[in-house]
Amino acid sequence: MEVEEAFELWSDTLAHLGDSYATHERFLRHFYNAFRGDLPPVKLAPVATRKNLIRIYETLLDQDLEGTVRSLERAAQVYGRIAGGGDVDEPTSLDQELTALRRAQAAPSYVLVMWLLVRQEKAGWSEEDLAAVARLLVSFFVRRNLTGFPATYALPRLFMDVIDQVAAGEPDRLLTIVRGSLVAASASDATFRERLEGPVYEENRDVTRFLLATLAEDAMTKETRVDLWAQSGKTFVWTIEHILPQGENLPQEWVDALGGPEAAAETQNRFVHTLGNLTITGFNSTLGNQTFLRKRDRIDHQGRAIGYRNGLALNAELAEKEAWSSADIEARTVRLV
């Protein structure tokens, strides 16, 4: 290739992916793992890793320079859509599911989604078919990231195997193949329930935030929709709020309400990080360690509710409570789980 042409294609590839070096490196690993069957053979490289990545691409470019560079550019267009490298003017149902996929910390599955999108036209899959796959992957990763099963090292091979199964099967069996593979690789319902009933905030704060936001969003309509993922700079506007405050220096009003120092310490130790004691708020610093009733009834300087009576469905139960006890936390945990 001419240097100018190669440079232009490489610049386009990076533009599709955005500015993150981590995304660039992950894309190169995923590209090889997804399309290894169609690429020139690379000895002793069944899976692309950080350690062998340069050797893999030295080999690919040496054997088929133009084919590799052009294939990378085409795949990068798709990968940028998955990883959120650019704005989408008119997001489809698939784009909405891809957004959920990113929020659910599902980056290892991008290898599969990229392969599906590249093969979409040839296989005849619709956007809704692929959106359904993305929904399965979201469910898989919420469960996986909370239970830790399967292990991180097993994920690349899992999705490479799914690609192989889909490629060998009939296109109309896509959802059946993906669902079967993910269910077989997932923790049981009993294990998932056990983790959900435990100190989820300590286990995985990002998954906990995803759970709380999703529960709140499920009750929203077009008229009541609030962007719970809005950011100010690099931080979320809406953050996780502990109803019963965490920390050792629990205010005396909370200690008295929970039945004294020993009972308060036990309640904190057992329940403070469980799902039933958590919500999301845009005014975390304002609520802080205040009493339950002050948190519930908090208003801003214009008289608007910014406490638990802010209209968020996730807080509907809290808006009606007059006190907050260990029994209340347990009951809300069961309901949310």
Shared domain check, 78 and 99: no
pLDDT above 90 covers a percentage of the chain that reads: 89
CA dist 143 and 161 (Å) reads 20
Amino acid at 73: E
To 10 degrees, what angle do helices 155-168 and 21-35 make? 40
Contacts of 265 (CB under 8 A, 6+ apart): none
Region 255-275: what's the mean pLDDT? 96
Shared domain check, 220 and 162: no
Helices (H), the chain: 3-17, 21-35, 53-63, 65-83, 93-103, 110-123, 127-147, 155-168, 174-184, 189-196, 200-203, 205-218, 252-257, 261-271, 284-287, 292-297, 316-320, 326-336
pLDDT 10s digits, 121-152: 999 999 999 999 999 999 999 999 999 999 99
pLDDT 10s digits, 278-296: 999 998 888 888 999 999 9
Domains in the chain, number: 3
Name the pLDDT band for 86 (thresholds 50, 70, 90): low
Give the SS3 label for residue 43.
Answer: coil
Question: At which of 158, 188, 218 does a domain end?
Answer: 188
Shared domain check, 174 and 265: no
Question: At which of 48, 64, 83 does a domain end?
Answer: 83
Shared domain check, 171 and 44: no
Shared domain check, 265 and 160: no
What's the confidence (pLDDT) of residue 9? 94
CA dist 305 and 17 (Å) reads 41
Which two structure tokens, joined as six digits, stand for 301? 């300087």
Q: Sign of the CA dihedral 42, 44, 49, 50?
A: negative
Shared domain check, 206 and 142: no
Contacts of 58 (CB under 8 A, 6+ apart): none
Shared domain check, 221 and 310: yes
Shared domain check, 296 and 264: yes
The whole domain housing 311 covers 197-336
Shared domain check, 102 and 36: no
Shared domain check, 211 and 175: no
pTM above 0.75, yes or no: yes
Name the pLDDT band for 85 (thresholds 50, 70, 90): low
pLDDT 10s digits, 175-233: 999 999 999 999 999 999 999 999 999 999 999 999 999 999 999 988 888 999 999 99
CA dist 301 and 243 (Å) reads 22
Shared domain check, 33 and 14: yes
Which two structure tokens, joined as six digits, stand for 13? 């590839």
CA dist 303 and 249 (Å) reads 30
Name the pLDDT band for 91 (thresholds 50, 70, 90): confident
